[in-house]
Structure 1
Amino acid sequence: PGGDPGPELAVSSNGYLTILDADGSVVWSTALDPGNPGGVSAADVDGDGEVELVTGMRYDDGIGIGRLYALNADGSLLWSTPAYDSSSANVASVLDLDGDGIYEVAWNGREDGFTIFNGADGSVIYNEPLAYSVTGTDYPAFVDVDNDGYAEVVAPALRGIRVFGWDGVWGPSRPIWNQQTYHITN
């Protein structure tokens, strides 16, 4: 977004999502709801050819009702949706599962459980409330766990690890996912 050579850095902190240029200067900063921030994932979630940023925020109101946000490359809001998690603000993972050019956003929280959202508008595509997380590190990961050429979603949950997949419908994924907020931008 900054236009300078070198990568930008996305920081979710204290109710803001901020983009820093390679030299450390602020490109933009967008106020979100105050609260405990989650990590940031970067992808063209709506298929418009521009990279968007997805992050979560748990409100600091003692209730634990949070939101998941998708912001455009200029910091404007693409969409936001409730993401109920009283434990922490988890990280969203992104991948174009069905090959339509629009990324799906996977998220796991305590109250809502494992949820897949449409990256273009934030609507719920799939929800499994029994596969819920209770910490900020139980983020879903897209990976080809069985080496069949199709993506699966690994969702750590309170009662064990859950793997979701739809062979023949979901597209390919890398066979490895080794870090939080992992993405491929080059």
Structure 2
Amino acid sequence: MQAQPQARPRRAPAAAASGADSTDWVATSLTRRFGIGAGLAWVGFLAFGVVSEQLKTRFEVAQQLANTKYYEMRVGGGDVPRPGDLVVIDLKGRVTGGEAFVDTFGDGKRPLALVMGSRPYTRGMCEGVEYVLRSMRAGGKRRVVVPPALGFGDDGADFGDAAAQVPPGATLEYVVEVDKVSIAPA
């Protein structure tokens, strides 16, 4: 009898040897998908937070502006001031029930000239007055009631003398008259 050659063990082909790699591919693919999904969810969560804060701030500002009341004393017929325009106004402001802290009406007193949208304000001007000026026309005159948040807020203001002080949290009353609206000089 002749001895038969012994059979050699067969080696697995390269494709079969990578069987473990095929499960790694599935795990890697799922990990990527869940990682991307989690990242997108986090970005969405952050975006929602930012948008909700912006809406809250806009809502609060809208409420404050709604609390700014004005009464037409005379409707103007000129131009409406736009941001960057030079506006010349007469202004009389006082704390509700108190004495005037600013008054540019009358002979020998100089009106206030300002560029719309510029800050900080000077000479008794506040954000509530600028808000009302946006819809006034040259020649118009209004009485304005400004809530503390659009006035001088919790800080109040001191304009130099005892009569020209605004206490913290004061509601203000103004009389505003627009003398002139023009393009600001360059």
Relative contact order higher in (CA < 8 Å, ≥ 6 apart): 2
Give the TM interval when normalised to the shorter protein. Answer: under 0.3
User: How high is the TM-score relative to the length of structure 2?
Assistant: 0.21
* Structure ranking higher in helix proportion: 2
TM-score, structure 1 normalization: 0.21
- Which one has a bigger Cα radius of gyration? 2
Greater per-residue strand proportion: 1
